Amino acid sequence: MYTGQIVFAQLMDLLPLHEFRKCVQRHHGNYKVRGFSCLDQFLCMAFAQLTYRESLRDIESCLRAMKPRLYHMGIRGNISRSTLAYANETRDWRIYADFAHVLIGIARPLYVNDDFGVQLEQAAYAFDSTTIDICMELFPWARFRKTKAAVKLHTLLNLRGSIPEFIHITEGKVHDVNILDLLVIQAGSFYIMDRGYLDFKRLYTIHQFGAFFVTRAKRNLDAQRRYSRPVDKSTGLRSDQTIFLTGINSSQRYPEPLRRISYRDPETGKYLVFLTNNFILPALTVTYLFKARWRVEIFFKWIKQHLRIKAFFGTSENAVKTQVRIAVCVYVLVAILRKRLHTDHSLYTILQVLSVSQFEKEPLQDVLSQQSVDLSKNAISPNQLILFV
């Protein structure tokens, strides 16, 4: 009979706690804190994500019911709704943002060889945002419309493994293109964006850093064709051209040539026009790169369905950002677990198993390998969004 750690503790053992303490110390998270540390807060919020808790009262009731096992979970402080609410309100959310980056740094090399449907040696990132609607009366700081409030989750997703490498949270009225200024551009990498990010000054900045971008062109683009390359129209390609911008402002903001690729999707019949500063990749590969951008859309839908980021445990800006950052930490932690255990289960299946076995005393490998209930067949419908298959 296994007499070791409970499942929750085994999962939390994957956390680099020395790095977590550095994050806490950097932002003075435990300053004048006596009974409920930042680690206690993180563990409680991680438990809420893993077990789909609905509210602070729900977290309090579940953890108090398991009070004899709290010590084995790593929780040393007393659990109460008011204490957790105060911690979410006052502890600096940047603690958990920094720790999320630490976990991302661990997960990135684990997925570096994963295939995302395009034969590409360089790193490829999809950049997009999603809007989470919230109540204006409860979240007055998150302005969006006159009668609505919302927060935006801006994400740079590494297409190898669907790991979010950059996350920024803003109020709903902030325009997406402004967040391009916050990205740390990596030379040689590809950045794939929809036409909402078509700002030639910012795109030229990406070009000057030695990186590549792929985006969609707008219909009213003022440009002059300088050269056309032959294309195989049986693949859906219509043209592959070198162009110069001719608009008064656009030509000043992007003075160098661009590549314009026209493509008609054989499946939907939709006509698409792409812009890129890469003149080496085959034209069809560029279209496949843009198609891979939909992984970020799947990522947004997935985390909204399976993590607690649509119903918030607090109403302040700090509480919302804390909850989202810890949700990202849990997402990346489970992704790390999947690689460390060399399991073929999808991330969805792993989360479903973990949600009902947090207090079991069995090795994680055995918990995930049990076939008494085939979650991969019974719990996932053909329309279910799946990552890490």
Q: Write out the H or E segment, with its range, that includes residue 90.
A: helix 81-90
CA dihedral 197→203→209→211, nearest 10 degrees, is 70
The residue to which tokens 């945002």 are assigned: 129
Summarize pLDDT for 119-145 with one digit per residue, the tens: 888 899 999 999 888 887 788 888 888
Beta bridge partners, 276, equal 214, 259
Predicted local confidence at residue 115, as pLDDT: 82
Domain ranges of the chain: 7-96+322-378, 115-298
Give the domain 115-298 fold.
Transposase Inhibitor Protein From Tn5; Chain A, domain 1 (3.90.350)
Mind listing the pLDDT tens digit for each residue in 355-378?
Answer: 888 888 888 888 888 644 444 444
Q: Which two tokens stand for residue 145?
A: 């419309």
151-to-143, 170, 306, 311 alpha-carbon distances in Å: 8, 6, 18, 12
pLDDT digits (tens, 9 = 90+) for 199-235: 999 999 999 999 999 999 988 899 999 999 999 999 9
Cα→Cα distances 4→1, 8, 310, 363, Å: 9, 12, 35, 8
Regions of the chain with pLDDT less than 50: 1, 371-386, 388-389
Show the 3-state SS of 35-68.
CCCHHHHHHHHHHHHHHCCCCHHHHHHHHHHCHH
Residues 155, 303: contact at Cβ < 8 Å?
no
What pLDDT is stored for residue 32 in this prediction? 84
Torsion of CA 10, 11, 17, 19, to 10 degrees: 150
- The pLDDT score that the predictor gives to residue 134 is 83
pTM of the predicted model as reported, rounded to 2 decimal places: 0.85
- Taking the C-alpha atoms of residue 289 and residue 307, their distance in angstroms, rounded to an integer, is 28
pLDDT (0 to 100) of residue 3: 58
Instruction: Write out the two tokens for 385.
Output: 């969004």
